Chains A and B, each alone.
Chain A
Amino acid sequence: MSALCALGDDHARLASGLFAPAANPLVWRSDLLVDRDVLVGAVESSLPAVPARLAQLACRNNALALAALRSIELPVRAAIERHGAARVGVVMGTTTSGVDEAALAIGRYVESGSYPASFHYAQLEHGGLAEFLADVCGARGPAFVISTACSSSAKALVAARSLLELGLCDAVVCGGVDTLCRMTTRGFFALEALAPERTNPMSRNRRGLNLGEAAALVLLTRDPGGVQLVGAGESSDAHHMSAPSPDGAGAEAAMRAALADARAQPEEVAYLNLHGTGTPLNDASESAAVARVFGASVPCSSTKPRVGHTLGAAGALEALFCALVLESEHDGQLSLPPHDWDGVRDPELAALQLVASGQSAPVRGRRLVASNGFGFGGNNCTLVLERQRA
């Protein structure tokens, strides 16, 4: 596992930022919206250069992927050596690819009729991310991108697991990458979904989301032990392109399917990572669905106040946060990511057990955690992770 996000770019920093009583690495940026600043979760570390032979695919999104790959390069190389390159696949989620490079390039094209030499249309193609990663890591198995808005990389992990179960691959590099760009920032601004301050999920005062950028990569294998993806549930709302169904029926179906796939009861889940965007509609529909499935007994939190909503990367990044929760076990207790908000409950929302600073969860029986991801088009995906003994 490997990730870069506003909290940092290595395991130790990610874990300390995730479990700290308070952490707010979000920054104000003036280059994304017109005539106003916006609070976002940005990756601050410098990124590696894309190899010259892949110049057509040189964009920030792919550079983030390359940076994340560095931390899992050795196990990926070992998998290729052990199984053969054709048995190692790549399944990634993205919604942005290199769209910001394309926005700059179109500006130049409109002015002068030609593109900057650095621009190529392939930077804008979602599929470019999988082709790029396959090329740099040497995998020659099936490689593709899933783009289902904010559930993209959750579904990429699910698709990767299917390649293992079908016997087509022995290892799959999977995850998600999305980059801060004017397209999504201005698009969510137009939808009136951006919070004017830090996002405040599940609060009566919630006013929207903060965007973020991230890359999160996992090498998924059939090897036993450690943290495993044991359950996945997918559903559609069939309601509206940019609003969840108010009753949360689609979200509920995804959570119930994931639990059934993991052969788990709701009360066995020690922690739920909420989609928790902080928009009025998401939080209303998600809290209703969570309350119906889990009651108010499962500790849950949104980690988006600490990293922003990383869209196509959110599913994989939040699955990785769930893995950090499982790996935090100490004296029979799991550390939990606090739910950052103003503490003002919304009487209109179903009551949830939102994780307080310093709260931990006792380990009982199976070590199970879950993560929700819901996207445009009413596209829902819930993952269940389990820590197993080797």
Chain B
Amino acid sequence: MIEFELEHWSAWAPGLETRESWLAWARAPRIGATDGAPEVRFIPAMTRRRLSRIAKMVAQVAHDCSSADELRERPLVFASRHCEIGTSTLILRDIAANLPLSPTAFSHSVHNAPVGQLSILAQNRRPSVSVSARHATFAMGWLEALSVSRRCNGSAVLYVYADEPLPVEYRAFADEPDFTCATALVVRAARGAADASFTLRWSRAEPSPRAPDQLPDPLATVAWLCSRGAQLDLAATAGWGWRVEHSGR
């Protein structure tokens, strides 16, 4: 069990760009539109044009829950199940056709490209980590964010998650509903129960797959935050998963 503080959060999905819109959404939460990208007008146009949709979503939610100083000083943890799979798939098509690869596309296809670009934009020189874990990606990124907070002497960590639907080439393999969404949580590992509002507990979970109408973890988390729910169960693998609870402080 880990005790932690959740200091701030933000989220972005097409049509859901403000705290008010998320609070209204949380009254009847569902997976929404998948098309569209944040405008990220706070980024200079030259740089903005080079960012993928995932990178823009990451920059947007990071910006929405941090001041410039906080964005420069907080360690960064990023999680994404598929990340820049769109860019990778274009590269794979070029490989299949024996076409020369674009060096920029290649260096921007790596899993830590969005968080690397965020660190450059924000001039953030702190540790940065990039996590992937299939169905458990969101939950494992959250765990790693608390680990990084612990490694950085209890510093607040910016945990950003982003994903978008699989490209058409892989649609047949999709095992989760399509969604486009990014979330940011500012979390801090606590020194003890007195210092914490939440706990993250590794517990036995229902082995059955999630119901088809169940929200993906990032959206379920936003709904839980908006509705101030008691507990949140995140996707389990092999019969074990995370449960997030208010610690009753």
Q: Which residues of A contact B (CB under 8 A)?
A: 34, 86, 95, 99, 102-104, 106-107, 109-110, 115, 120-122, 124-128, 130-131, 134-135, 140-149, 155, 158-159, 162-163, 165-166, 168, 182-183, 186-192, 232, 234-242, 249-250, 253, 375-379
Contact = CB atoms under 8 A, between A and B. Distances in A.
Contacts of A190: 100-103, 106
B125 A253 contact: yes
Among all A-B residue pairs, the 8 with the closest Cβ atoms: A377-B116, A187-B106, A234-B127, A121-B173, A107-B96, A147-B111, A162-B147, A144-B140
Nearest to B131: A144
Interface in B135-164: 136-137, 140-141, 143-144, 146-148, 150-151
Contacts of A135: 238
Contacts of A236: 76, 116, 119, 124-128
B15 interface: no
A183 B132 contact: no
Interface residues on B, range: 35 or more
Given A145-B131, A238-B120, A378-B119, A95 B111 contact: yes
A159 B115 contact: no
Given A130-B133, A143-B133, A99 B88 contact: yes
B108 A241 contact: yes
Interface string B73-91: 0001000011001001101
Contacts of A378: 116, 119-120
B128 A159 contact: no
A232 B96 contact: no
A242 B102 CA distance: 13
B123 interface: yes
Contact of B96 (A110, A120, A142, A249): A110
B92 A379 contact: no
24 contacts: A99-B88, A106-B92, A106-B169, A122-B134, A124-B85, A130-B133, A141-B240, A144-B132, A144-B136, A144-B137, A144-B141, A146-B131, A147-B131, A147-B132, A148-B128, A162-B151, A183-B88, A186-B101, A236-B126, A238-B125, A253-B125, A377-B116, A378-B116, A379-B116
A44 to B, nearest CB: 24
B21 interface: no
A375 B148 CA distance: 18
B112 to A, nearest CB: 4
